[in-house]
Structure 1
Amino acid sequence: MERAKRSTRKKKANQLPIALLLLVVIVAVGFYLSNFSPSNPSFWFFGILLGLTLRASRFCFTASMRDPVLTGGTNLTKAVIVAIALATVGFAAIQYKASLTGQPIPGNISPVGVHIAIGAFMFGIGMVIAGGCASGTLMRVGEGFSMQWLSLVFFIVGSVWGARDFNYWKPTFIDGSVKIFLPDVLGWFPALVVQFGLLMGLFILADWFSNRKSLEK
């Protein structure tokens, strides 16, 4: 019986030739892009590595918010929190150095207002229906999911439309909102304490929620 089952299993195709061919194509495209700018190959290979990382980790902002509700799993939620914490370390170091030397603080300090809440709510609904955020959609496009191709098309349409009308939205709703940069309000050390304290609290909450769901099952 066991032998019959083994014989009926399809033998996995050897994908090594395809992988080697794809590697040759990637390197060739990198050399071609270097004709336009010396930095293009770096961007190209970094993008390839980022795509492989997303594919292997299944990293997706949508899943990090959706999985706790649907499945009770919070692994991606905690991964996103850790990623934000690591990014905070890097950005804080760069910005703090700029403040010490009297240079303009790098990065965009965007106004906070009702437009953020409305936009986040609409984007949240859209990415749940589409089954992925920007990074998740691009990853699944590469995997061949037809639904994500459709999502990508309308993602581009919406982005172009938003860029077209941005000159109306910006002065009407955005410019009048308050800009908050925590180091200016609290100081650098208290701002970092608040930032990492909130992230740690969210991480503990996510871990507790996951354990609670596991016990219920």
Structure 2
Amino acid sequence: MKEFTLTRKKSQLPYAMVLLLILVLFGIYLSRVGKILAVRWIFGIAFGFVLQRSRFCFTAAVRDPVLTGNTSLFRAVLIATTVAMVGFSYIQFAAHLSGCPVPGMIKPAGVHTLLGGIIFGIGAVLSGGCASGTLMRVGEGHLVNMIALVFFIAGSAAGAYHFGWFKENIIKFARPVFLPDILGWGAAFFGQLAFLLILYWLALWWDYNSRAE
């Protein structure tokens, strides 16, 4: 029989301290260039830390319920979406009542939306993560995600370069979709809220039944 010996992992604390020192020094440099750069630097580091510790990834949120039956990340996305929806609805409705233009990125939805979603979904599944998940795993040293990040940037650059053609030949034929204009403010708000609550309940039901099996 083979004998297995436990090897103690080398402490990574010295590397962490050096990295922390580099982050602080670079933050000080940015603060001298421009205060807003230092704020963005701190926010970016904090956001990345939260992503890494929470394992937050939109692709995993949809993938995990199918592969493992775990819906915790999917439910977290639903909660975040609900909070954002309530907040932005208040801002937009307040602007509507005051007679100001309704703020927000109200864009056309059409074939290009469906096609782009399918292509992005396939790429996210093959690479093992969405944009946030890829960046988070690159920071952890995952080689596959480093390769995915290169093609993510290349694809984004190609899409930006050809965006004019897509806009003139496909996007301009689609109409902007803003649910309050279609359903009314009340139906749009409470309809979305009810839909998200139903999805949350279904996620709990799926999680419970998957664990029971």
Match of 1:204 in 2: 201
Equivalent residue number for residue 47 of structure 2 = 50
Q: Which moved more, 1:31-40 or 1:41-50?
A: 31-40
* C-alpha distance in 1 between matches for 2:80 and 2:73: 10
**Unaligned 5+ runs, structure 1:** none
Name the residue aligned to 2:149.
152
Q: CA RMSD in A?
A: 1.7
Structure 1 position 209, deviation (Å): 1.3
Q: Find the aligned partners of 1:140 and 1:26 in 2 and give their Cα distance.
A: 19
1:26 aligns with 2:35: no
Counterparts of 2:64 and 2:210, CA distance in 1: 12
Structural mapping, 1:82-97, within 5 Å: 82-97=79-94
- CA separation in 2, counterparts of 1:154 and 1:52? 24
CA distance in structure 2 between the partners assigned to 1:45 and 1:93 by the alignment: 29
Are 2:62 and 1:60 equivalent residues in the alignment?
Answer: no
TM-score normalised by L of structure 2: 0.92
Identity level (%): 48
- Measured in 2, the distance between the counterparts of 1:40 and 1:106 equals 26
| Range moving further from structure 2, 202-211 or 91-100 | 91-100
| Pairwise CA distance, 1:10 | 3.1
In the TM superposition, 1:68-83 aligns within 5 A as 68-83=65-80
**Aligned pairs for 1:96-175 within 5 A:** 96-175=93-172
Deviates more, 1:185-194 or 1:108-117: 185-194
Amino acid at match of 2:37: N
For 1:138, the aligned partner's letter is L
Instruction: Name the SS of the counterpart of 1:34 in structure 2.
Output: helix
Letter in 2 for 1:31: I
Shift of 1:12: 4.3
Aligned equivalents of 2:70 and 2:54: distance in 1? 15
Cross-structure match for 1:38: 35
1:195 aligned partner: 192
Cα distance in 2 for partners of 1:104, 1:26 equals 41
How many equivalent residue pairs? Answer: 211
Answer yes or no: is 1:11 the counterpart of 2:8: yes
Select 2:182's aligned residue among 182, 185, 193: 185
Q: For residues 41 and 156 of structure 1, what CA distance do their matches in structure 2 show?
A: 25
**Deviates further, 168-177 or 19-28:** 19-28
